[in-house]
Amino acid sequence: MTTFARDFINTSSEKAFDKEHRDIINYNIGKYDVAVERGLSKLSHLEHAKRKGHVIKWKVMENLDKLLLEFESNFQKKGGKVIWANDANEATREVLEILKRRDAKTVIKSKSMVTEEIHLNHFLEENGIESLESDLGEYIVQLLGQKPYHIVTPAMHLNKEKIAELFHRKFGTPIDSTPEQLTLKARELLRDKYLTADVGITGANFLIADSGSIALTENEGNARLTTTFPKVHIAIVGIEKLIPSFTDLSLFWPMLSTHGTGQNLTVYNTIISGPKQADETDGPEEMYVILLDNGRTNLLAQKEQRQGLYCIRCGACLNGCPIYKNIGGHTYETTYSGPIGSIITPHLQGMKDFKHLSYASSLCGKCSEVCPVKIDIHKMLLLNRRDAVNEKLSTTSENIGWFFWRKGMSSRKLMDFFGGRWKNFFLNNFFAKLWGKNRSLPQVEKKSFSQEWKETHQQDNRS
């Protein structure tokens, strides 16, 4: 068992029985569920929209090489610069080169999961560059020294009392501050940073191939400020974020916002097609888009599992997952948690270290049901399990256990031979630590169903 798997088991065991944690996350997800249900009710032909989104993303993955070059060409025509990065080291090195050329010392960032993926804040700090998160949720977890808890809502694991206590400790605000007061304090602290930062860094929700643009969607306006005031804008984007046409936003923007937060559209939706032009008064003097692979082509090569790259990062599968709602986001120790993280992380970071995530599922199918682009998530989890076995990553105890299980389950004679007494013995002595540590295991009847059936029918025949 790897260190990641062992930590996952230990932490999830603790979190599942942490009542305060479960109350907070279930309360917050419950609020989202109500909003999302209301938002989805306003969409007509929802299943048709999901199928259309699925087909568009399928076409993108089948033609990814061509569409990436189309995006690059169109973006460069408008004065932008495209950098290709094979992995996190290349991406962070390229960012540092840009900052050094501009003699930049301060960076303002908008919310971006891909920058979390490459650990950009930590890298910049090691190189003496101040990097500040401008999204309120990201700012809160940065103050705590934590990673985002959720794809959409980074501070979902915190209630208003905990955030008020944090601001009181850091900035001296009243311990009983309201959410509105805390937001105003954060705005006061951040506003000056937009004006003084040397470089602004964002991700992108979508890359638009035919216009050579990036699309950003947000609710706070921090991404617009991040891309407007600094003289340099760097967008770091996974290569899977492509959509073919500008017109596809009419589908993807509402599907992202409705499934993510229940809104018809998020408050701010921005399209950026390059640096400031000669006839424009605002915007950066230089704009770079770093196209990040970082294991994505490994997943693209898996014909059955490349669906994982269709994800538009709405977070719906996390909110629907009974496992996530019990153990939370930090337990996964990955950038992308929940069901979608469980299917893509083994391909992005290695099956050996992260195969256990594909077993952290009840296979209830809720994740597939709520996905706005119809990714067959629970099937992908099973395919990852298959691959882990085929790559001989199962432990010896697992192999022995499943060998005898298969033998017993495929033979009626063996099942009847090991009657209820023996089955209860194995349950109580071998499975108690695995399955029964926090639950009462069932008692197996002394006689099997087939034995009961035979005895009953023998009595019927005699009568």
Instruction: Note the pLDDT tens digit of each residue in 382-398.
Output: 999 999 999 999 888 88
**Looking at the predicted structure, is the pLDDT value of residue 99 above 60?**
yes
SS (H, E, C) the chain: CCHHHHHHHHHHHHHCCCHHHHHHHHHHHHHHHHHHHHHHCCCCCHHHHHHHHHHHHHHHHHCHHHHHHHHHHHHHHCCCEEEEECCHHHHHHHHHHHHHHCCCCEEEECCCHHHHHCCHHHHHHHCCCEEEECCHHHHHHHHHCCCCCCCCCCCCCCCHHHHHHHHHHHHCCCCCCCHHHHHHHHHHHHHHHHHHCCEEEECCCEEECCCCEEEEEECCCHHHHHHHCCCEEEEEEEHHHEECCHHHHHHHHHHHHHHHHCCCCCCEEEEECCCCCCCCCCCCCEEEEEEECCCHHHHHCCCCCHHHHHCCCCCHHHHHCCCHHHHCCHHHCCCCCHHHHHHHHHHHHCHHHHHHHHHCCCCCCHHHHHCCCCCCHHHHHHHHHHHHHHCCCCCHHHHHHHHHHHHHHCCHHHHHHCCHHHHHHHHHHHCCCCCCCCCCCCCCCCCCHHHHHHHHHHHHHHC
> Do 422 and 278 have their domain in common?
no
What is the rounded average pLDDT of the residues 111-140?
A: 96
81 is written with which tokens? 């610069």
| Domain endpoint, select from 294, 314, 337 | 294
Task: Tell me the average pLDDT of the chain.
Answer: 92
Residue 263 lies in a domain: yes
pTM greater than 0.75: yes
Determine the Cα–Cα distance for residues 418 and 412; give it in Å rounded to an integer: 10
CB 282 within 8 A of CB 276: yes
pLDDT tens, residue by residue, 398-423: 888 888 888 878 887 777 777 667 77
Residue 424 lies in a domain: yes
pLDDT tens, residue by residue, 338-350: 999 999 999 999 9
CA neighbor of 115 nearest in space, from 234, 196, 207, 260: 234
**Looking at the predicted structure, is the pLDDT value of residue 426 above 80?**
no
* Pairwise pLDDT comparison (83 vs 426), residue with the higher score: 83
Place 463 in a pLDDT band, splitting at 50, 70 and 90: low
| Domain endpoint, select from 267, 294, 321 | 294
Q: What are phi and psi of 235, to 5 degrees?
A: -110, 125
* Pairwise pLDDT comparison (191 vs 319), residue with the higher score: 319
Residue 352 lies in a domain: no
Non-local (6+) Cβ contacts of 94 within 8 A are 83, 85, 290
**Looking at the predicted structure, is the pLDDT value of residue 12 above 60?**
yes
> Do 203 and 68 have their domain in common?
yes
What pLDDT was estimated at residue 435? 67
Residue 76 lies in a domain: yes
Provide the CATH number for the domain around residue 235: 3.40.50.10420
CB 54 within 8 A of CB 374: yes
> Do 133 and 268 have their domain in common?
yes
Determine the Cα–Cα distance for residues 197 and 224; give it in Å rounded to an integer: 14
pLDDT tens, residue by residue, 43-87: 989 999 999 999 999 999 999 999 999 999 999 999 999 999 999
**Looking at the predicted structure, is the pLDDT value of residue 288 above 90?**
yes
What pLDDT was estimated at residue 402? 83
What pLDDT was estimated at residue 436? 59
Domains held by the chain: number: 2
Non-local (6+) Cβ contacts of 432 within 8 A are 441
What is the rounded average pLDDT of the residues 137-157?
A: 96
Non-local (6+) Cβ contacts of 168 within 8 A are 174, 175, 177
Residue 103 lies in a domain: yes
The whole domain housing 425 covers 411-462
What pLDDT was estimated at residue 454? 81
| Domain endpoint, select from 272, 294, 316 | 294
> In 3-state terms, what secondary structure has residue 84?
strand
CB 331 within 8 A of CB 150: no
**Looking at the predicted structure, is the pLDDT value of residue 108 above 70?**
yes
What pLDDT was estimated at residue 256? 97
- Backbone CA torsion sign across 400, 405, 407, 408: positive
Residue 169 lies in a domain: yes
Determine the Cα–Cα distance for residues 150 and 31; give it in Å rounded to an integer: 15
> In 3-state terms, what secondary structure has residue 161?
helix
28 is written with which tokens? 């917050």
What pLDDT was estimated at residue 444? 80
Residue 116 lies in a domain: yes
Residue 340 lies in a domain: no
* CA torsion angle 168 169 172 174 (round to 10): 20
pLDDT tens, residue by residue, 261-280: 999 999 999 999 999 998 88
